[in-house]
Structure 1
């Protein structure tokens, strides 16, 4: 049976608020927690950017659920530091922490002052980062002189049970590539056929038998007006073309691009649900895909209502 997980969005809520939300999610019957990792939000309206690695230890102590988080090693976060953080969390909370590694977005990574590499270079950096993290978690001394630079690194605090290092992939092409090296796949929900193709690309190219996580973004409210307005307020900056989402460096670029985006355009791209039966019907379709975790991200600000209604419908 797949775990149904609650998504803790660090771009949208302060860490203290998110801590309360994941405690409520556990009480409501969610099976796990997933967290984003941002230095900047996608818009001024979202308005938050807590450091996930600081928050997640407190959140895991405050709950008993398994956690996973997205991470983009290689620029803002050196992979040796990511490995150390993952090892520490896994030592403290055995078997409860996994991580999805992605190539990142400029809005978070270019704070270092370094240039933003093209996709090919970012993928090379991601693969090298995975190798560094994996070797360090194996207790090896690591030296690397390539896209990633590492000198005589070794972890002395190691977990008894290593975290799973999944790859975060939005496209079928990236999912196919990830199958050759990653321990699992995190991808985004869309049409059932599109999701099937991404999962098949991963499994048919080395990913067979590895875990697959699926993240589903939607807007939930008790009436359609609130759900639609909430989606427009919080997520209209996020429906820009994929290359822009990856390459824009400043929050204002997203806000400027979304100035003329209508509520109708948002709801044509983001599913809107006004009751649990309709949402659960959609979830059942995704669960036919033999996935390991289904991550639910209600993109508007009505988190308490969503968690309460989820719990009541179980």
Structure 2
């Protein structure tokens, strides 16, 4: 049976409230959860950005859910720190934690003061980080020289069940390239034809593990309300690469979002007041071959969404 999870958006909701939201999601019947890992939100209106790793410890301890996090080693985080943090969570909560390792966005990584590398260099840096993290999770002492440097690093507390390292991708090319190292694939809702090509590219290149989809959506009792929520909270998140990779501040995204129209919003998020329409969208994703869906209601007040979807959407998908 497909896993239907809850996405916890640190950029939009204060950490204490987000912890209450994910507990409510578990009580309502969501199967799992995943979260973002930002230091800056995508928009000033979103207005939050709690530290994901602190929050994950609390969330894992106070629920029985399995959790994932999308994070970027190599600049803001040294890969040994990412390995250390993930190994500790996996040791405390066996089989309940995975991490998706991406090449990052300037929005979060610029804080180090280091130059923002071009995409090909970021991809190479990521792949070096993945090698380091795997070797540390295997219990080895690691010294590495390259785009990241590691000197005699070792983890002294290792998990019995190593956390899966999932590849986040938005393009066919990245999906295919990730197959060489990933334990699974995660992406966001896009055109179904594009998603199908991504999955095929990953599997054809030998990619193993689960296929995960994070679904951005806006629901409200009326269509006008659902669209207004999406416009307020998600108009800064409609941009394709390289814009989404390269802008450095929430204010920059807000400025770029000034001319975003309804069509762009509806491409970036599934907007509808009809829960039946949301069921249709989600079933289409499952039919493409995604095994886990993480629902991200792009509004800031989660309770009505959680309760309504628990009553009217989750039972139909099961």
What do you get for the CA RMSD once the two structures are aligned?
1.2
Q: Secondary structure at the match of 1:136?
A: helix
Contact 2:76–2:111 (CA under 8 A) maintained in structure 1: yes
Contact 1:75–1:109 (CA under 8 A) maintained in structure 2: yes
Determine the structure 2 residue equivalent to 1:71. Answer: 71
Q: Secondary structure at the match of 1:162?
A: coil
In the TM superposition, residue 214 of structure 1 has moved relative to its aligned partner by 1.0
Length-normalised TM-score, structure 1: 0.97
Which string of whole-angstrom CA distances, capped at 9 and with x for unpartnered residues, describes residues 49-102 of structure 1?
111001001011111010001010000011100111011101110000000000
Determine the C-alpha separation between the residues in 2 that align with 1:126 and 1:36.
18
Matched, 1:181 2:181: yes
Which string of whole-angstrom CA distances, capped at 9 and with x for unpartnered residues, describes residues 209-266 of structure 1?
4211111111111111111000000011111232111001111111111123244542
Determine the C-alpha separation between the residues in 2 that align with 1:185 and 1:103.
14
Contact 1:221–1:302 (CA under 8 A) maintained in structure 2: no
Determine the C-alpha separation between the residues in 2 that align with 1:27 and 1:122.
40
Residue-pair matches, total: 313
Determine the structure 1 residue equivalent to 2:141. Answer: 141
In the TM superposition, residue 276 of structure 1 has moved relative to its aligned partner by 2.0
Q: Secondary structure at the match of 1:287?
A: helix
What stretches of structure 1 move > 6 A for 4+ residues in a row?
none
1:45-194 aligned within 5 A: 45-194=45-194
Length-normalised TM-score, structure 2: 0.96
Deviates more, 1:288-297 or 1:72-81: 288-297
Note the residue ranges of structure 1 that are not aligned, 5 or more in a row.
none
Determine the C-alpha separation between the residues in 1 that align with 2:300 and 2:225.
10
In the TM superposition, residue 274 of structure 1 has moved relative to its aligned partner by 1.0
Determine the C-alpha separation between the residues in 2 that align with 1:116 and 1:210.
31
Note the residue ranges of structure 2 that are not aligned, 5 or more in a row.
none
Matched, 1:231 2:234: no
Determine the C-alpha separation between the residues in 1 that align with 2:89 and 2:111.
26
Q: Secondary structure at the match of 1:242?
A: coil
Contact 1:229–1:263 (CA under 8 A) maintained in structure 2: no
Determine the C-alpha separation between the residues in 2 that align with 1:265 and 1:123.
28
Determine the structure 2 residue equivalent to 1:252. Answer: 251
Contact 2:215–2:269 (CA under 8 A) maintained in structure 1: no
Q: Secondary structure at the match of 1:30?
A: coil
